[in-house]
Amino acid sequence: MPGRTLMVQGTMSSVGKSLLVAALCRIFRQDGWKVAPFKAQNMALNSFATRDGREVGRAQAMQAAAAGVDVTVAMNPVLIKPEADAAAQIVVMGKPWERLTAADYITRRGELWRIVTGALDALRAEYDLVVIEGAGSPAEINLKRGDLVNMAIAGYAGAPVLLVGDIDRGGVFAQLLGTLMLLEPEERALVRGLIVNKFRGDIALFADGVRILEERGGAPVLGVIPFIPDVGVADEDSVALDRYAAASPRTDAAHLDIAVIRLPRVSNFDDIDPLRAEPGVGVRFVDRVDALGTPDLIIVPGTKTTVADLEFLRARGLAERIVALARQGAAVLGICGGYQMLGRSIRDPFGVESNVRETTGLGLLPVVTTFDADKQTIRARGCVAADRGLFAGARHCDWQGYEIHMGRTTRDQPAAPLLHVAERSEQTVADADGAITPDGWIAGTYVHGLFDNDALRHVLLANLAARKGIGREGGARFDRERMYDRLAATVRARLDMQQLYRIIADER
């Protein structure tokens, strides 16, 4: 008998679907179920490497971790990665498939439908329960003919649907009731419960709201979930970065000030989550020169479109300012696409990323990047090679992370490698990654997840603090497992689990 299914859909993007799916995966795991997440089609620049060297959405990797299982491509068979123009790279079953415009993508629905339903069938054959996540809103009626991810997949699986609205944005009645109104009768029949998410204040004061939603919506409100600040679980959409934007740096001299450049197509920005969890550390995402200030550390993060986002830095004046601060001694760290930008030049002889065949980088590291058709999607581990500047005292610190990139970067003198790599995709290697300047205050790496490694992160922050002349003792432990448990406990306390289990069992 195939495993049961439960689906979480939202009234719009960023209502908290991904986190609720993660919470449910952890709750069901705690209750003894063998559970897996599934999202048929994900549009995101945050991605993750599977054990077999393929690529899935970062949210599904996070949800799988909450479920206590290793993420596989079946959990996210189609990943859409928007690029600089009106096209996107389509990743199917973890491998680059096509580069398509939105109009062309819709014409391929038949091919993709067979793939996503096959992936879901495979998961249901292996797991007791599959928690399915929708995308955007099921009421985007202009897009229904190409639907792969909302009511089409719910109907295929016969999955009961929980519809989630975001009260923090306001208009939750219009969100939920309007969505129900726009659904076809057979689709509306699949909606078995409503969830009001991100509630602030006294939930008892929303009793009338619950009654109105149930009376007019014809479905029970299974829970009013409170706003959960700084849960520390990876976000899927870059809109989440709005919470961390700041117009100016902190003036508290006792704190470290870290500025992360908010690129238009920033990817894997959850790299920064462990820094935000540290006491005495302020993290800002900035996209303007007047917001940059003089931070203790500038991080240039990953991006799907290195050349286009590098041009964005130049157009905004950020490129010139970052270089000027670096020349004055500021610490700068580039990750993945950010590492490529810090180099002397970026070459794209085959037009892999854009029509620009070569462009100059920021020139802060003596490295050159060349794009090729082979995408590197691997998990890796090793230890730190450097022992100076930002990384003083970090030599031999263990690290583990993952790489997702198209380019290959070569070092020239006087740069030295930043990291020793001992294992890639579970194969023993003796390799190196990244580059660091002789003084150690400018560095770059392809490795995502570097800050998740507690000992290494603590050394870096201690070096920044010492340079600033402030004291810093120890540091926080970044434990994603504890965060999943916290998320699950909060949701379980505000969700009618008895009624939810009846819905899963298809009891009416």
- Residues annotated as catalytic (active site), given as ranges: 336, 448
What are 494's two structure tokens? 């505000």
3-state DSSP helix/strand/coil % of the chain, to nearest 5:
35, 30, 35
What are the residues facing 133 on neighbouring strands?
A: 8
Pairing of strands 35-38, 129-133: parallel
Of 198, 177, 195, nearest in space to 497 by CA: 195
**Distances from the Cα of 315 to the Cα of 84, 251, 310, 311, angstroms:** 15, 28, 9, 6
What's the CA gap between 228 and 198, in Å, rounded?
7
Pairing of strands 55-57, 47-49: antiparallel
What's the CA gap between 112 and 96, in Å, rounded?
14
- Calculate ∠ Cα 122-124-129, nearest 5°: 145
Are the C-beta atoms of residues 324 and 276 closer than 8 Å to each other?
no
What's the CA gap between 195 and 8, in Å, rounded?
10
Are the C-beta atoms of residues 256 and 284 closer than 8 Å to each other?
no
What's the CA gap between 14 and 12, in Å, rounded?
7
What are 100's two structure tokens? 């398509």
**Distances from the Cα of 275 to the Cα of 16, 176, 219, 259, angstroms:** 22, 36, 41, 11
